[in-house]
Homo-oligomer: A and B are copies of this chain.
Amino acid sequence: MTEVLFNEVLTLQVKSKDCEDRRTNIRVTIELQSTTNPIHKKDLVVRLTDDADPFFLYNLNISEEDFQSLKIQQGLLVEFSAFPQRFVDLLQQCIQEQTKDIPRFLLQLISSAPVLDHTPAFLNVVETNPFKHLTHLSLKLLPGTDATVKKYLAICLKCLKEEKLRLEQNLKKTEEDLSRQLNYTQQ
């Protein structure tokens, strides 16, 4: 079962090696994937995609065990169960600040390669106060392989087909409804 906790387009600051910083709009999705078979297990999935580029995909899968290392490594004070909401709160703060010239909260994607391609990248939520940059969270994301991009696109295609079907039904119903009303009033 997949529960979507966050799914929004955000302005992201991209920093890659030997390149000028640039800003781009990226969709950030946070999902909680639960499986009960064979064991009860929850995974937090973080995914970056670009609505304009179907091949752009970065993702991260955090299991409860992975979270323990992340917690120690980043000095987090929350448990796995509370973490997703805190992450969403941070992203909401970035959204509130993203139209400002000097945003207090900023979402960054940092790559050690010159272009975003096959290298892992760090997704950072950074607060800038008059004194310094404070990194609230830093997650290491992996670029999508052909196989993961393929799977992701298949899911997109399935959703879009369902939306299209709903729209077709809606259009048909609207045409029928209004024609009927029109006939009725013309009589």
| A residues with CB within 8 A of B | 54-55, 145-147, 149-150, 153-154, 156-158, 160-161, 163-164, 167-168, 170-171, 174-175, 178-179, 181-182, 185-186
Contacts and interface: CB of A to CB of B under 8 A. Distances in A.
Contact of A174 (B153, B174, B186): B174
Contacts of A54: 153-154, 157-158
Contacts of A186: 185
Contacts of A167: 164, 167-168, 171
Contacts of A150: 55, 146, 149-150, 153
Contacts of A163: 164
A83 to B, nearest CB: 31
